[in-house]
Structure 1
Amino acid sequence: MTWQLRRASAADLGPIMELETGTFGTDAWSSDAMLGDLVNAQCYYLVAERVGFPGIIDGYAGLFAPQGAHEGDIQTIAVAEDARRGGLGRTLMQALIGEARKRGAIEVFLEVRADNPGAKNLYDTLGFEEIAVRVAYYQPDGVDAIVMRLRIPEPQLRPAMIP
């Protein structure tokens, strides 16, 4: 599958919430909370649409990073089960990290469920480090949240290689 990333809008709320509730169940955000972030200028949300299938959203991710702030927060990220293991989650995360850098952030934080090793592995490979645990953070399940931080690296410029 191939995807096209684009900025999310309030018009994407329905498909985002389908993916949100299907992915997170009892931990899902409410529609009102999600809509609040989608229309908040301090937030940056992306959706991944299947190329050739407008309106089919296989992933989304959101960042809270006020312009000029030194910190950003990955609010949420979800990838449809049939679209996993193809690099979409990594692509969404890299896009959010790039946007955080553009807004002036030097660090990005997130929380991940302790019982989600796939997501934690992704964050580890992107350079996030564990900095704290919030005991029984995810309710009603009582699952701990691992708080992670990424110190955003400076972009690496390299000369173009001509074959």
Structure 2
Amino acid sequence: MTARSSPPADAARVRRATARDAAAVAALEEAGLGDDAWSYGLLSEVVGGTLPTVHALVAEADGEVLGYAAGSLVVDVAELQRLVVAGPARRRGIARALLDALLGLARDAGAERVLLEVRADNEGARAFYAAAGFAEVGTRPRYYRDGESALVLERSVPAR
């Protein structure tokens, strides 16, 4: 058996998620977030488009969902709620492609800034978001089930 390598981001296509993506997105959540994963029911609503302020995107190649992002928009503020990429597909630009697509949706909807929370102990994600222009604006102590704090990050939405 040979290991299958994941394609680079330019080979992955970012598109809006649909209800058909629920199982793949749930598997990504479980593998990437463990105890912090959303329930299958909530994920079905998120990717199925039944929550009016929530937008979900997936990155796929050869019919395989490699990552997904979900965010919400309230008036002029967008919140990135999820950004998960499958382990073998990481460090190939897929997370950045998903983030850029979500930022584009936020811009088109009139958002002026984007907020997100990231685990304080997640150095890789913190470096990724810093490179994408996010800055720390606050802390939510003991935010996660295991007692870890969340850092609140923010960036402006790029103009057209």
1:34 deviates by 1.5
Of 13, 16, 19, 2:25 maps to 16
> What is aligned with 1:89?
95
* Consecutive unaligned residues in structure 2, runs of 5 or more: 1-6
Of 53, 56, 60, 2:68 maps to 60
> What is aligned with 1:150?
155
Task: List 4+ stretches of structure 1 deviating above 3 A.
Answer: none
Give TM-score, length-normalised by structure 2. Answer: 0.89
> 1:48-86: per-residue Cα shift (whole Å, max 9, x none)?
111xx21x11100011014xx110100101001101111
Identity of aligned residues (%): 38
Determine helix, strand or coil for the equivalent of 1:65.
strand
* Consecutive unaligned residues in structure 1, runs of 5 or more: 156-163
Question: Match of 1:137, as an amino acid?
Answer: Y
CA RMSD in angstroms, aligned pairs only: 1.1
CA distance in 1, matches of 2:58, 2:45: 16
CA distance in 2, matches of 1:44, 1:36: 10
Question: Match of 2:72, as an amino acid?
Answer: F
In our comparison, the structure showing a higher alpha carbon Rg is 1
CA distance in 1, matches of 2:120, 2:18: 30
Alignment of 1:27 with 2:36, yes or no, is yes
